[in-house]
Structure 1
Amino acid sequence: MFSEISNDVLLSSSLWANIALAGLSILLFVYMGRNVEGTRGKLIFGATLMIPLVSISSYTGLVSGLTVGYLEMPAGHALAGEEVMSQWGRYLTWALSTPMILIALGLLADVDLGSLFTVVAADIGMCVTGLAAALVTSSYALRWVFYGISCAFFVVVLYAVLVEWPESASAAGTDEIFGTLRALTVVLWLGYPIIWAVGIEGLALVESVGLTSWAYSVLDIGAKYIFAFLLLRWVAANQSVVETAGFGSSAGSGAAAVDDD
């Protein structure tokens, strides 16, 4: 598997590019966060640093062939009976890295712990059921059933990020950078289920594993490294704002106001 990946320039380059960028990001983020102080700032920094750390581990697993395998597509699939390469390791990456993105966003917006837990749990559910959709070979219909369940979890995440969390960010005074990161995250994350649907795992409208891999890799570059850079740069320059509101204080303030009334 390693030799086959290495011999496919399009596929291997999509993986090595992310390994290189993840490595550079780790060094850059450690430097950017060297002067970050305060509990909330350090939590955001820690969560953000985990994003490239998880990515470099995952992409190394992919390029080595450790988390790649062949699956025979079930009846009903456009490539029924054929063995196709599955980069199932990507789902493990997303299950570990996307919660870090949401934790960093939640800390930035100062959301309450209950909301953050719910959204992270839904995100993990989204990734795990996405993995199931990619690995099921007994039934083509079941692949789409798992895909639908994964999308339902995704809707929960989108609702929180688009509807609930902006109010908390506004109360915490971080709404401007939160709005930028929210837009970046939502737009790029919407690309993942689209690529799955048109790629070899779904409708197979695009049969090239290399092209699909590059599409995922480009989304990862924006959703992870660019996201993390913008977040850490803002946190490092606005530590007083970050530390003004304690974790979940916006919700707590509202509850206190109700009690006073």
Structure 2
Amino acid sequence: MKNILVPIDFSEYSKTASAIAEKIAKVTGAEIHYLHTNESKNEHEKLHEKLNSFAPQSKEIKSKAFITDGVPFDDIINHSEEFESDLIIICSSGMESYHSSYATTNVLKITRLANCPVLIIPPNIKEINLDKILFVNDFTYEIDYKEQVERVFQTLVELTKDFKPEINLLYVKQNGIPEEKLEKCMIDFAESFDGMEIGSNIKESESVEDGAIGFAKETGADAICMIGHGSGNYFTELRVSVSEKVIEKADVPVILIKVTN
């Protein structure tokens, strides 16, 4: 991981995202980019002073501050693409100063537009561990989609490798597919990553989001990882509303990773 982007609106949620970025950067050696969009057209010099207050106290962690005068979401996406961000960190109740009544909607816009992984922090979380990660997906797909999901999973592995996490697969069962078939699909998927110990789990639930959140609580997962929005893939788009509901309901961090071609 080379750099982490943290959008800053000077709210308490920004402070939380900044603190979590600092912890991740300390483990991975990544540089933190703090980005503020100056919608009110305040003087940049004063804003830089305010933004620099988010800089890590530790000299071991590199950071840079950026101020733009555009549209927040465009600027966040443009910055992440220009600097090839490896991760965007934002709180699910963040971006409050950017049209506060639509805070959650704003966060979801970022998850849809970003090409890099996005880590969404719920408001109850003040610090993060990435020792146990739950990868939630449908593992009964067609072969073409399997390859796409494998790329997403590989991105998760690369993103979190410095934490050496325990990663478990979860299929939330809502239909009559025999468990033997589900288990075989998950074992086949896990075997694609030779040398890794990957747990496979099946949980019955009336909804995928409740099953995922409930299983995360039962097993003490530190984060839930799901496929992100905007891939243009039919199977992925079917799950857009599910990942949004997980973001809104989960009390653990959620990592969204978009399918890449």
- TM exceeds 0.5? no
TM-score, normalised relative to structure 2: 0.26
Higher-RCO chain (CA-CA 8 Å, sequence separation at least 6) = 1
More helix per residue: 1
TM-score, normalised relative to structure 1: 0.26
Determine which structure has more spread, i.e. the larger CA radius of gyration: 1
